[in-house]
Structure 1
Amino acid sequence: MASGLLKGAVLLLVSVLSWLCVYMKGRYTVDVQSLPQHPRSHQPPYPGGTADNLLWFLQVSDIHISRFYDPQRVTDLKQFCTENVDVFKPPMVLVTGDLTDAKTIDRGGSMQYEVEWRTYYGVLKETNVMERTLWMDIRGNHDAFDIPALHSNRNFFRQYSSMGQTGKISYHHAHKTPFGTYSFVALDACLNPGPRRPFNFFGYLNESSLATLQSLADETVHSNMTIWMGHHPTATILSPNPGIKHVIRNGIAYLCGHLHDLGGLFPVMYSMQEGGTLELELSDWMNNRRYRLLAADHDMLSFVDVKLGEWPVVLVTNPKHAMFATPSHEPLGRIRHSTHIRVLAFSPDPIEKVVVWLDGVRFCEASHVEGPLFTCPWNPADYGTGLHTIAVDVSDRKGRTRHQEHPFSVDGSRANISFVQTVILQTDWLVLMKLVFVLVFTAGVLSLPVLRYCSPALPPGGSSLDSVGGAGCGCSRLLELLGISAWCGMMNMSKGAYPRQFVQKWLSRLSLLTKVDQLYYPLFCFGVYIPIGPWFYGELIQGCHGALFMHGTYIAGAYVPGLWSHAYATLQIALFHVPLTVYLAMLLDNHLCHLSHKNNQASNNHAKPRYRLYRQLIGLLRLHGFGVFFLIWQLYSSYWVLVAYGTMSFLICPLRTWSLLLAAWLIYKVRTLPKEKVAHLVR
């Protein structure tokens, strides 16, 4: 029987892993070769030795100007708006959200500070950057903290931003050149109304907002190229069918920020959507001072991410990076027909030398054409198959040097984007959080009635399999039902006896807990309350009271869907409800041991006083240390409700504050259970 279960479990595990691998490959890998080709892929004009059909621009994101922290952000932004804009001379700068920080000094609360917005707009006015380029800014989630409505006087974006003063939230800018029109479409997915943090991380587009974006997309159908920009990555935007990715599918790229660099783990995050649209997340200005240079050269898009103060800045536009080739949105066939390698080199000081290397061999020294463009002749047919490498070494008059290289191909061969980055940017995190919540809720809450009605309890303190009798058989049947018996056998520790004994011991403790009505019903009902009842009520937006549920928030006469709340609920169950259940089971087991006189007091009395005290301290630490830890965590979480939403939310907060009172009451009940109430459990 056990052998059959073991084989079945292994077969099931292999099947699930195989399915998961196939699903992941299909879900996150784009078959670029199957995408339709650009209609002008092999039509002129072709990249040559003249400075035509060339457009470049900049992106910056997550500036986070703060009244409390790091004034150097403002100083460096002024440097960017003067030195960098003067050197690059871009026709537009795309600023993808989180212009201000909007966090209180303790970082727990959030509100809009007019002084931060005045500082941001003051930089734009002081540097005259809006007179030298089109400064296209858009809101991020921090810019929407604590805003009851778009027309509110606390929505400072309307007063202190470049595009906000035009009355535009989402908008389309068509940049016209002698060689075509290039469309830039900004989408605002910030919540409206905008709650205070932390429930303002994800973006949301309702049907009306999505229809507006679709109308903007329709305006771009005759453009040479369409660039979408927004603050939130598409994976963090909730939208109705057909969804935001369907609307922006006409764009060659979607430029965003918001995730910063995930705590330094991912300095760059790029991916490609199913239809071939690139999704390019830019690391933040706040801590990393990163910005992005992009260029459309003969309608092929290239880019490089740069740190402020790094010079020269180098971008090879032909042949373009093979990792970011999008055959549906750009005429990649023009690389095959090109006559010159094309390099953009920028520096505050004149560029002295541009040396090009192909496949590790020095190929040429590029000639200056005009502005930042350097070229040298080449024959693409010499590199007609497979992937190759182009490298460029650039030096300026001050002796500063920059080395830039990337893979390229002439025949459409492709370098793969990082799988991990693709998973981060293309996973539907809202669906994933719901799935994780269901699993944690099932394991932490719905398992309680299973234990109550499907398994008899072991004697209190019972640890020997030989001493459990019928109860041991009951736990064995439950182990078989859950498949744990086979797992224990796989451990191969003392032929599976120790892990099996350990699992049975804990099943018996939890089963004992569920048999006590005074403990079982409050625990189970509180667990069920988490996805159903209101978590807290209070001033979720300054001057506006509302109630927060897992499924959403009711505030300011509006409903905001629950987005981050599923993760919040998962943490509540995993870090409080489950530990509380385990701690109560330990306390109950210990209490019943005392009632049944099975605590081996006699043997302990023969020990020396010093060792007896030592054992007592160790016993207390093992019993109560775990409980102290998760109770402190819950107290800390309750404190942050007070910081973020005020006193009323702290007092009317079943999820956090009231749960502490429930825990204290349950612990008291365990310690004071009279023997007659649990006599039927003590064998």
Structure 2
Amino acid sequence: MLRLFSVLIAAGLFLACLTGYVLENYTVQQRTYGGAGEHLRGAQPPYPAGGMDNIFWFLQVSDIHISRFVDPQRAPDFQKFCTETIDVIKPEIVLVTGDLTDAKERNRIGSRQYEIEWQTYQTILKKSKVLEKTKWIDIKGNHDTFNIPSLESVNNYYSSAIAHLCGHLHTLGGFMPVLHSRHERGTLELELADWMDNRRYRVLVFDHDLFSFVDLKFDKWPVVVITNPKSALYSSPAHEPLGKIKHSTHIRVLAFSPAQVTSVLIKIDGVTMGSAVHIKGPLHTLPWRAKDYSTGMHYIEVRAQDKAGRTTIIGHKFTMEEVRLLPFDIMASFILRSSHYMTLRVIFILVLLANILVIIAFRYLTRPQLKESPGFFALVNFSFHVFSKTNILYYPVLLFTCYIAVGPWFIGEIVDGHFGACFVFGVVVDGHFLEGSLTFLIGILQLTFFNIPLICYLCWCLLLRCRGAYFRSHIKYTGWSCSVPMHISMLGLLGWQVYACYLLQKTYGTAAFFLSPVRTWSVILALVLVYKAWNLNNSAIRTFKADMKNCPYS
């Protein structure tokens, strides 16, 4: 009981520390960053007015994933984007932030560079003449560097890059369609959803040094961006002259559409302000008295309609008071701002230590004396003692668990023509060390869904052996309702590991399949250990069988 109480206290302290850390770094409370006019240029003209001056807009698109095998509509849609969308919006710059091509094999397991995917991408740029219409800046992503050992590689079909932005996270499988946050010093972190599956892109605007943007679905018109007053949620007092808003004379809206924009209706706090006047290009403005909204938080809504009858309604909160920064979603902030590498490494170490320390502790703890009709937890405790004190099972499992942390998981062709070794902490190839990140996640899964269930299954087998059962006769001690789920779980466990071996072979070749202690060899190890558990010599567990002799199994 004392040990259980100590564990609960330790777990409570850990959860308290974790909660304090999350609340400190990803708070949902509003934060105050001084007055709106504190920026050096906040009170300096020019101010947002009714003219087409001091405004600049550009586009971002990410994770295009041009593929030769899947989604044949992806490339034609992207070509349409490069012609119609670019022609309508007329951005000064287009940023393509990574993963231009898919570089995945037909089975979606292996990775390689396909020249035809790069040719398709280049052909779209040439046919659409987009390079003649705007400045086009594309950046390599992780898919664009699959299987490329160096910039000089014959598989490197990319030219160069001068910027780095990334929408790499997509939408996390649809669970996080919006991934936006703000860092401690006010810098925004704005992940863009992918083009690959979601056909998303972004329009970004600097209007009198005030930053605004909108994330959009391809081929949805009209496109509307409210540039003044700008959104309070995306305000950055340290980087923007927010004081210009209260000195402005006009509400400013950009409205883009292939058809003529016929109306731009503006409301503030539910009150209709009127229709904005078209100035030039996409700019529409409406005079306003900014001082009427100098206190409190307000909501502006814009309804734009084009000649084709399509309508877009957007809105946001704004304020001209001392800047009360609105909170972002706490989960999005955690995902974007956390050091996931460090988090995964810590979790891996904790799971590893839990695996090792538990079986070592049971080995050196005194064997419990079973009382008549022992309960479930007493039997579980007893079975772990049997396992930890049975050398032929204890040492292989302990050494294999330690090996996961220090030894190479596999040796194979990491990149075509270049052999290397993969460890939990990184990859060594051609004398170069590449620090690991997702390898820690794979290590966590290996320990959690292979090592731990295997130990539990072996403990169950040993418990039955202590009752005098063998594999062919154990049903009479447990019944079908218990034995069948246990064996199916074990088969599922081995099946999952075999499938991991298959993925390893498809990804890194036959050599990696045969030279993989953590994958291929672990399947053999598990089968051997299970066989040993069911066929263990009675002399190895004689003392435990004696303890169980007079205890009804329940």
The bucket for the TM-score relative to the shorter chain is over 0.9
Contact 2:277 2:285 in 1 (8 A): yes
State the partner residue of 1:548.
422
Find the counterpart in structure 2 of residue 526 from structure 1: 400
- 1:641 is matched with 504
Q: Tell me how far apart the structure 2 counterparts of residues 583 and 10 of structure 1 sit (CA, whole Å).
A: 26
Determine helix, strand or coil for the equivalent of 2:119: helix
- The structural deviation recorded for 1:45 is 1.0
Q: Does 1:441 align with 2:360?
A: no
Aligned partners of 1:587 and 1:671 also within 8 Å: yes
Amino acid corresponding to residue 21 of structure 2 in structure 1:
Y
2:67 paired residue number? 66
* Secondary structure of the corresponding residue to residue 285 of structure 2: strand
> What amino acid does structure 2 have at the position aligned with 1:517?
N
Q: How does 1:167-206 map to 2 (within 5 A)?
A: 169=161, 171=162, 186-187=163-164
Residue in 2 that maps onto 1:102: 103
Assess, with a 3 A threshold, how the Cα gap between structure 1 residues 433 and 557 changes in structure 2: closer, same or farther.
same
Equivalent position of 1:128 in the other structure: 129
Amino acid in the other structure paired with 1:398: A
Contact 2:268 2:299 in 1 (8 A): yes
Match of 1:33 in 2: 33
Confirm or deny: 8 A CA contact 1:92 1:134 kept in the other structure. yes
One-letter amino acid of the counterpart of residue 432, structure 1:
T
- What secondary structure, in the 3-state scheme, does the structure 1 residue paired with 2:201 have? strand
Shift of 1:455: 3.9
Q: CA deviation at 1:681?
A: 2.4
The match for 1:626 is 489
Is 1:671 matched up with 2:545?
Answer: no
Task: Tell me how far 1:26 sits from its aligned partner.
Answer: 1.9
Residue 18 of structure 2 aligns to which amino acid in structure 1? L
Give the structure 2 partner of residue 591 of structure 1: 465
Asked if structure 2 preserves the Cα contact closer than 8 Å seen for 1:509 and 1:586, the reply is yes
Q: Cα–Cα, structure 1 residues 433 and 372, in superposed 2: closer, same or farther, change >3 Å?
A: same
Between the aligned partners of 1:429 and 1:538, the Cα distance in structure 2 is 27
Select which of 244, 269, 277 maps to 2:187.
277
Instruction: Check whether the contact 1:552–1:562 (CA below 8 A) recurs between aligned residues.
Output: yes
State which of 225, 235, 240 in structure 2 corresponds to 1:330. 240
CA contact (8 A) 2:426 2:435 kept: yes
**Which deviations, in whole Å up to 9, do the C-alpha atoms of 1:490-545 show, x marking residues without a partner?**
xxxxxxxxxxx433321211111111000000000000000100000011101100
Cα 1:538–1:653, aligned 2, differ >3 Å: closer, same or farther?
same
Query: SS in structure 1 opposite 2:85?
Result: helix
| AA aligned opposite 2:332 | Q
Question: How large is the Cα RMSD of the aligned pairs?
Answer: 2.3
Give the equivalent residue in structure 1 for 2:85. 84
Task: Please tell me whether the aligned partners of residues 595 and 675 of structure 1 are also in contact (alpha carbons under 8 angstroms).
Answer: no
Task: Map Cα deviations across residues 403-429 of structure 1 (whole Å, 9 max, x no partner).
Answer: 011111111233221111111111110
The aligned amino acid for 1:379 is: R
Q: Secondary structure at the match of 1:594?
A: coil
Letter of the 1:33 partner, please give it: Y
Mapped contact 1:65–1:101 kept (Cα < 8 A): yes
User: TM-score if structure 2 supplies the norm length?
Assistant: 0.93
Residue 175 of structure 2 is matched in structure 1 by 265
Relative to structure 1, is the Cα distance of residues 15 and 666 closer, same or farther in structure 2, using a 3 angstrom cutoff? closer
Q: Distance between the aligned counterparts of 1:652 and 1:278, measured in 2?
A: 46
Give, as a single letter, the amino acid of the residue that structure 1 aligns with 2:329.
S
Q: Distance in 2 between matches of 1:623 and 1:154?
A: 48
* Partner SS, residue 279 of structure 1: strand
CA drift of 1:10 comes to 7.2
Structure 1 counterpart of 2:434: 560
Match for residue 502 of structure 1?
A: 376
Using the TM superposition, name which of 295-304 and 550-559 deviates more. Answer: 550-559
How do 1:366-405 residues align onto structure 2 when only pairs under 5 Å count? Answer: 366-405=276-315
Kindly tell me: are residues 579 and 61 of structure 1, through their superposed partners in 2, closer, same or farther at Cα, counting changes over 3 Å? same
Give the fraction of aligned pairs with identical amino acids, expressed as a percent: 43
Query: Paired residue for 1:24?
Result: 22
Looking at structure 2, the residues matched to 595 and 364 of structure 1 have their Cα atoms a distance apart, in angstroms, of 85
Deviations 1:196-225 (A, max 9, x none): xxxxxxxxxxxxxxxxxxxxxxxxxxxxxx
Amino acid at match of 2:492: F
Q: Which residue of 2 aligns with 1:239?
A: none
Q: Give the superposition deviation at 1:40.
A: 1.1
CA contact (8 A) 2:60 2:202 kept: yes
Q: Counterpart of 1:156 in 2: which secondary structure?
A: coil
Aligned counterparts of 1:333 and 1:550: Cα–Cα separation in 2: 51
What is the rounded CA distance, in whole Å, between the counterparts of 1:105 and 1:415 in structure 2? 45
Distance 1:629 1:457, change over 3 A: farther
Whether the 8 Å contact between 2:464 and 2:474 is mirrored in structure 1 is no
In structure 1, give the amino acid aligned to 2:415.
Answer: I
Partner of 1:111: 112
Structure 1 spans left out of the alignment, 5+ residues: 159-163, 172-185, 188-229, 232-256, 460-464, 469-500, 605-611
The aligned residue for residue 413 of structure 1 is 324
**Which of the residues 339, 345, 357 maps onto 1:428?**
339
User: Which residue is 1:661 aligned to?
Assistant: 524
What is the CA-CA distance between 1:567 and the residue it aligns to? 0.6
Answer whether contact 2:93 2:134 (CA < 8 A) is retained: yes
- Residue 568 of structure 1: how far off its partner (Å): 0.8
Given that 2:33 and 2:324 are in contact with CA atoms closer than 8 Å, whether structure 1 keeps it comes out as no
Match of 2:249 in 1: 339
For 2:85, the aligned partner's letter is N
Q: Is the 8 A contact 1:96 1:137 kept in 2?
A: yes
Report how many residues are paired: 541
CA distance in 2, matches of 1:9, 1:576: 25
Query: Which of 533, 537, 543 is the equivalent residue of 1:680?
Result: 543
User: What does residue 575 of structure 1 align with?
Assistant: 449
Structure 1 residue 15, shift from structure 2 partner: 5.4
Q: Any idea what the Cα deviations from partners look like across 1:208-258, whole Å, max 9, x if unmatched?
A: xxxxxxxxxxxxxxxxxxxxxx22xxxxxxxxxxxxxxxxxxxxxxxxx01
Deviation at 1:275, TM superposition (A): 1.6
Out of 621-630 and 664-673, give the one that drifted further: 621-630
Q: Shift in Å at residue 552 of structure 1?
A: 1.3
- CA deviation digits over 1:438-472, x for unaligned, max 9? 2211222321101111241566xxxxx4456xxxx
2:452 counterpart letter in structure 1: V
Gaps of 5+ in 2: 547-554
Q: Which residue of 2 aligns with 1:178?
A: none
Q: Secondary structure at the match of 1:402?
A: strand
Q: Deviations over 1:464-486 (max 9, x none)?
A: x4456xxxxxxxxxxxxxxxxxx
Alignment of 1:594-605 (within 5 A): 594=468
Checking the alignment, whether the CA contact within 8 Å between 1:270 and 1:417 is kept in structure 2 is yes
**Separation of aligned partners in 2, 1:15 and 1:675:** 45
